[in-house]
Amino acid sequence: MQKFRPSLALSICTLLGLAVLFSLGTWQAVKVGPKQARIQKVNERFSLPAIDVSDLRGALIDNEFRHVKWSGELVEVPPYRHFLTNKKGEAGYHLYKPLKDNTGKVLLVNYGWVPFEYDITQLKWPTGPISVRGYIRKSVTALPFQPDNDAVNNFWYVANLDEMCAPFVNNNLSCADVRLILNGDETAFPLQGQMAIKLPNRHREYAFTWFGIAAALIAVFVGFGLQRGRELAQENNK
C-alpha cells in the first residue's frame, strides 16, 4: 500500500490555497440567487407598457429599464457621439440628444446607432414640442484603463451623465440622473433598439470554475504526496 507523505510546506500552501478557492467559489455561488431575482425583476419591468414619466412611482433612477414617455423640445446642440457597438458587435456611435421639458429639466435621449463613416450632419432632428418613448438606463462609470471622455471634440467612451450634463448644469439647468434609450425604428439610421438589455448571470459558472480549480489542486496535492511517499519508501529500502 502506497504511503501518502506530503511535505509540511506543500500541505500548508495547499490548505491556504483551498481556503481561498473555496471562499471564492462560495462567494460566487451565493450571488446566483440574487442575480437571478434581479434579472427577473428587470424582465418584468421591461415588459410593462410605457407610462408618462410623471406617473412613475419613486425616483427615475429607481426605475431602470422601465418604459416611459417624455415630452419636451430638443436642445439645439450637436449630438453626443458615444463610441459603442450595436447588437451585431459592429463599431460606431450611439447618438444622444438633450431633450428639455417644460420645467427646464434636461434628459439625454439615445436616438440610436450609426457607423463611423455615417455623416451625422445630414440627419434631420425634430423641432418644436415632441414626445418620445424609451426605457430608462442609469449613468455609467468608466472601467479601469478605459480612455477618458473627450468633451472638447464631442467623443464619449462612457455615458457618464455627470460629464455629459455639465454644460446644462453650468447654465443653471437641471439634468435628469438617467438617460432614455429609444427602441423603435431599426430600419434607418440612427438604428434604435441597439442597446443590450440582457443581464448575464454567470456566477454559477464562476463558482464551478473556482471549485474545479480547488479539485485540481487537491488532485495535484495527492499526486505529489503519493510520489513523495514512494520516494521515501525507496530510500528506506536501500
pLDDT at res. 177: 79
Q: What is this structure's pTM?
A: 0.75
Q: Over range 217-233, report the average pLDDT.
A: 84
Task: For the chain, give the percent of residues with pLDDT over 90.
Answer: 30
* Per-residue pLDDT band at 29 (split at 50, 70, 90): very high
In the predicted structure, residue 1 carries a pLDDT above the cut 70? no
In the predicted structure, residue 22 carries a pLDDT above the cut 80? yes
User: Model confidence over 133-164: pLDDT tens digits?
Assistant: 888 888 888 888 888 999 888 889 998 888 88
* Per-residue pLDDT band at 31 (split at 50, 70, 90): very high
**With helix as H, strand as E and coil as C, how does the chain read?**
CCCCCCCHHHHHHHHHHHHHHHHHHHHHHHCHHHHHHHHHHHHHHHHCCCEEHHHCCCCHHHHCCCEEEEEEEECCCCCEEEECCCCCCCCEEEEEEEEECCCCCEEEEEEEEEECCCCHHHCCCCCCCEEEEEEEEECCCCCCCCCCCECCCCEECCCCHHHHCHHHHHCCCCEEEEEEEECCCCCCCCECCCCCCCCCCCHHHHHHHHHHHHHHHHHHHHHHHHHHHHHHHHHHHC
* Per-residue pLDDT band at 24 (split at 50, 70, 90): very high
In the predicted structure, residue 39 carries a pLDDT above the cut 90? no
* Per-residue pLDDT band at 175 (split at 50, 70, 90): confident
